[in-house]
């Protein structure tokens, strides 16, 4: 006899063995907090949004010299344009995140559900990538800005030897690279742990299509 | 309105709760994890309930949300991983003293099913629940042909686990 047929025969009888919950037990259960990965993903994305927004406005609020410098730099149309652009992108991301969370539905097929969760994770990933590239863009940009506006800095740079300049560039690249690796590892860790099982199951379903 | 919705939900869930129990039976190994998963499925069902329009049966809808929660949304606790390891050790010992009585065979079968991966378990579950390949394929989001192919592989895999 087929193994599964034997199992099926027994399966029908298992129903009586379960402890049956009463109405009054189900009520509190349905209002308990969920511990699903979608919820965790949601908290992480909110955390990231808040982190990057704080990272951009806290220096402005806390340091008056920074504020003065920033106010002055807004006179530069390039800088002003970039700032407006980055705030527009934040709004766009909030919208995209909201939309992709709305599209996660437990009544979809398993594969579609997994796809919408992975899509949401991608939105967060792009948001982080955007922030990282803005930081990298701002390093040479502030360098250039300082060179144009600050006479002392201008003098130091023009008088520096090629070796000294190479050294400065080297340091900038090194710091940037270390920063990037740390953030990258951090993300691998968070999403790696959180989505390991989902990715495995998604691959299992995808594998069938080949 | 909300109270009414709650009431009709609880009434139907209470009636069909065995579906959730059976999902938990396949995806968990101990009572704690069983109750934990049961609760998470209940939460997810209640959340999705406003969107349930009744164009399918409540029970059919429960299969989908229940399996989705077990396969995709639910996060395993550390405790569960440990019990799983324990189970497979126990399985190896038992397999050596394999005997043909039906009860013993069933015990081994359940253990073998527990060794399958999440997707394979879902196929077995729907098969045991007498679902046809059309429903299996729409629940998982794969084609009917692929559902058949996969089911045959699962059967083979179970055979190899039972008769190594």
ipTM value of the model? 0.81
Q: b/e string for A129-139 if b means 16 or more Cβ within 10 A?
A: ebbbebeeeee
Residue A129 lies inside a defined structural domain of this protein? yes
CA distances from B27 to A143, A186, B7, B60, B92 (A): 57, 30, 28, 19, 20
> How many distinct structural domains can be found in chain A?
1
Q: Summarize pLDDT for A171-194 with one digit per residue, the tens.
A: 888 888 888 888 878 888 888 888
Split at pLDDT 50, 70, 90, the class of A154 is: confident
Residue A81 belongs to some domain of the structure = yes
B90 contacts: CB under 8 Å, gap ≥ 6: B111
The answer to whether residue A159 sits within a structural domain is yes
Compute the half-sphere exposure of residue A60: CA atoms within 13 Å on the CB side of its CA. 10
Q: Is residue A27 situated within a structural domain?
A: no
Q: Report the chain B residue with the minimal C-alpha distance to residue A9.
A: B128
Q: Tell me, what CATH number does B41's domain have?
A: 1.10.1740.10
Considering the domain boundaries, does residue B50 fall inside one? yes
Domain count of the fold of chain B: 1
Residue A28 is assigned to a structural domain of this protein: no
- B26 within domain boundaries: yes
pLDDT over threshold 50, residue B160: yes
In a domain, B162, yes or no: no
Residue B150 within a domain: no
Q: Is A210 on the interface with B (CB under 8 A)?
A: no
Residue (of A210, A4, A204, A209) closest to A110 by Cα position: A204
Chain B touched by A15 (CB under 8 Å): yes
Mean residue pLDDT of chain B comes to 84
Contact B79, B87 (CB under 8 A): no
Q: Flag whether A89 is in a domain.
A: yes
A124-183 residues touching B, CB cutoff 8 A: none
Neighboring chain A residues of B107 at a CB cutoff of 8 Å: none
The answer to the question of residue B25 being in a domain is yes
Tell me how far apart the alpha carbons of residues B60 and A175 are, in angstroms, rounded to a whole number: 56
Q: Tell me, what DSSP letter sits at residue A19?
A: P
Asked whether residue B6 is assigned to any structural domain, the reply reads yes
A43 touches chain B (CB under 8 A): no
A75 occurs within a structural domain: yes
Which of A11-25, B3-17, B90-104 is least confident? B90-104
Residue ranges making up the domain that contains A57: 36-202
List, for residues A57-93, the tens digit of each pLDDT value: 887 787 788 778 777 777 778 778 888 888 898 899 8
In terms of Cα–Cα distance, which of B107, B84, B81, B77 is closest to B94?
B107
CA distance B143 to B145: 5
Q: What residues of chain A lie within 8 A of the CB of B51, using their CB? A: 105, 107
């Amino acid at each position: 006899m087929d193994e599964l047929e034997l199992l099926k025969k027994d399966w029908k009888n298992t129903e009586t063995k379960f402890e049956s919950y009463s109405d009054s037990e189900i009520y509190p259960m349905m209002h308990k907090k969920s511990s699903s990965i979608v919820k965790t993903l949601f908290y992480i994305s909110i955390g990231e949004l808040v982190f990057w927004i704080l990272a951009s406005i806290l220096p402005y609020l806390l340091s008056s010299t920074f504020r003065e410098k920033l106010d002055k730099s807004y006179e530069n149309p390039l800088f002003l344009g970039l700032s407006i652009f980055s705030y527009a992108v934040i709004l766009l991301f909030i919208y995209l995140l909201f939309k992709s969370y709305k599209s996660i539905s437990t009544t979809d097929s398993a594969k579609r559900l997994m796809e919408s969760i992975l899509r949401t994770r991608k939105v967060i990933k792009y948001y982080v990538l955007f922030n990282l590239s803005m930081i990298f863009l701002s390093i040479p940009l502030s360098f250039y800005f300082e060179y144009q506006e600050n006479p002392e800095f201008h003098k130091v740079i023009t008088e520096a030897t090629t070796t000294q300049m190479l050294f400065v560039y080297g340091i900038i690249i090194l710091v940037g690279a270390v920063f990037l690796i740390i953030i990258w590892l951090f993300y691998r860790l968070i999403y790696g742990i959180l989505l390991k099982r989902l990715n495995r199951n998604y691959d299992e379903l995808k594998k069938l299509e080949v | 309105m909300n109270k009414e919705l709650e009431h009709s939900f609880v009434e139907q869930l209470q009636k069909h709760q065995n579906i959730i129990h059976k999902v938990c039976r396949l995806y968990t190994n101990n009572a704690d994890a069983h109750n934990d998963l049961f609760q998470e499925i209940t939460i997810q069902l209640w959340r999705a309930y406003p969107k349930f329009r009744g164009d399918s049966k409540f029970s059919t809808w429960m299969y989908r949300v229940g399996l989705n929660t077990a396969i995709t949304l639910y996060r395993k606790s550390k405790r569960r991983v440990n019990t799983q390891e324990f189970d497979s050790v126990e399985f190896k010992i038992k397999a050596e003293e394999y005997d043909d009585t039906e009860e013993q065979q069933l015990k081994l079968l359940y253990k073998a099913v527990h060794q399958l991966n999440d997707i394979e378990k879902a196929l077995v579950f729907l098969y045991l629940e007498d679902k046809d390949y059309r429903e299996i394929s729409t629940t998982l989001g794969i084609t009917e042909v692929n559902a058949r192919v996969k089911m045959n592989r699962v059967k083979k895999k179970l055979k190899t686990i039972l008769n190594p």
